[in-house]
């Protein structure tokens, strides 16, 4: 009886060991695989203000080698052109917002067992990046027309000044000519008077 009890006990110990090994061994490879635990923006979120970076958080620390994250917006518009930044179990890339719409963040990270983990999240940007409207742009400057250029430049001021300066000179010339004429008439009158006086004296001398 004692031998049978010992054999039964050993059998139960072997069965228990196999059961424990079966429950523990699969957990090792499963824990080795990486997986996404969170993100910013969250998967399926709708955001009005574009974040500066898209952040992904993982169960295990991702290896920089082999890690790739891409962000694609509406009409396959690239939403990120920068390299990933690692901080513990978190990976982030700069976000370049484009038009409003659905953005897809696709990721590929490595695991400690050498397997790659692929996946994606999506979020909706409700307000696109600000763009300049036609009303904000300065109006085009039209080249001046020939008539406007002529009106702006105008004729030179020298001829007008010369005409203004010549007019007083002409007036002075006219006044000077009138004065000379009066002097000539005066001389003629004086000479006539002298001649008449001499003639009268001669006649008086003859009569005497």
Q: Is residue 131 part of a domain?
A: no
> Environment class of residue 106 by beta-carbon count within 10 Å: exposed (0-12), middle (13-18) or buried (19+)?
middle
Over residues 75-82, mean pLDDT: 91
Q: For the segment 102-150, what is each residue's pLDDT rounded down to a tens digit?
A: 999 999 988 766 778 899 999 999 987 765 444 455 556 666 665 555 5
Q: For the segment 3-34, what is each residue's pLDDT rounded down to a tens digit?
A: 666 666 677 666 566 555 555 444 444 445 78
Domain that holds residue 204: 179-208
- Residue percentage of the chain with pLDDT more than 70: 58
Mind giving me the DSSP string for 54-93?
EEEEESSPPPSTT-EEEEE-GGG-B---SPPEEETTEEEE
User: Token digits for 191?
Assistant: 């000479």
Last residue of a domain, one of 125, 158, 187: 125
CATH number where 103 lies: 2.60.40.1220
Last residue of a domain, one of 125, 140, 163: 125
The total number of structural domains in the chain stands at 2
Most confident of 24-38, 89-103, 193-207: 89-103
Same domain, residue pair 48 and 116: yes
């Amino acid at each position: 009886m004692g031998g049978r009890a010992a054999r039964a006990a050993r059998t139960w110990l072997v069965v228990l060991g196999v059961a424990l090994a079966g429950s523990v061994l699969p957990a090792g490879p499963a824990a080795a695989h990486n997986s996404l635990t969170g993100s910013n923006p969250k998967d399926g979120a709708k955001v009005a203000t574009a974040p500066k970076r898209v952040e992904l958080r993982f169960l295990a620390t991702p290896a920089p080698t082999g890690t790739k994250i891409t962000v694609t917006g509406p009409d396959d518009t690239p939403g990120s052109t920068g390299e990933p930044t690692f901080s513990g179990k978190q990976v982030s890339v700069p976000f370049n917002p484009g038009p409003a719409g659905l953005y897809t963040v696709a990721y590929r990270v490595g695991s400690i067992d050498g397997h790659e983990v692929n996946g994606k999240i999506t979020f909706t940007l409700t307000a696109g990046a600000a763009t300049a409207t036609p009303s904000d742009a300065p109006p085009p400057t039209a080249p001046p027309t020939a008539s406007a250029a002529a009106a702006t430049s105008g004729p030179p001021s020298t001829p007008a000044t010369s005409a203004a300066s010549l007019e007083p000179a002409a007036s002075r010339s006219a006044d000077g000519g009138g004065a000379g004429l009066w002097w000539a008439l005066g001389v003629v009158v004086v000479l006539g008077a002298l001649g008449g006086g001499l003639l009268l004296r001669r006649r008086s001398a003859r009569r005497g």
